[in-house]
Amino acid sequence: MTPLEKDIEKALRRMISRHGGLCLKWVCPGFAGVPDRICLLPGGHLIFVELKRPQGGERAKRQEWWCKTLEKLGFCHRWIKNHEELKALEIEISMILEETEDGYV
């Protein structure tokens, strides 16, 4: 059975928590299309995450704009629509946190 967006979101929250972080829902009145989640990680790292349905989840133009704008400002932004992409994000986070612990970042 294909997971729903809420299943991926729940898995994201659990994964971020396992790494000692917070996965906050971003609600920003007056600004349409902001990413669904702000993930705050140890060491001051921050990742914006837009979740999409595994099947048929289309990216809105305003969401694309936010992605580009946040990345231009130097922030990390990720699109997650399935467990494979979530696992890839977890590997990325593990590497970031490992570098932070070793004093590289």
Q: Which residues of the chain have pLDDT under 70?
A: 101-105
pLDDT (0 to 100) of residue 105:
47
pLDDT of residue 56: 77
Q: Left if phi > 0, otherwise alpha if psi is -120 to 50, otherwise beta: which for 22? A: beta
Question: What pLDDT does residue 102 have?
Answer: 61
The predicted pLDDT at position 83 comes to 93
**Per DSSP, what are the bridge partners of residue 80?**
51
Answer whether 0.85 is exceeded by the pTM.
Answer: yes
Q: Do the strands 37-41 and 45-51 form a parallel or antiparallel pair, or are they unpaired?
A: antiparallel
The closest alpha carbon to 66, from 57, 53, 58, 75, belongs to 75
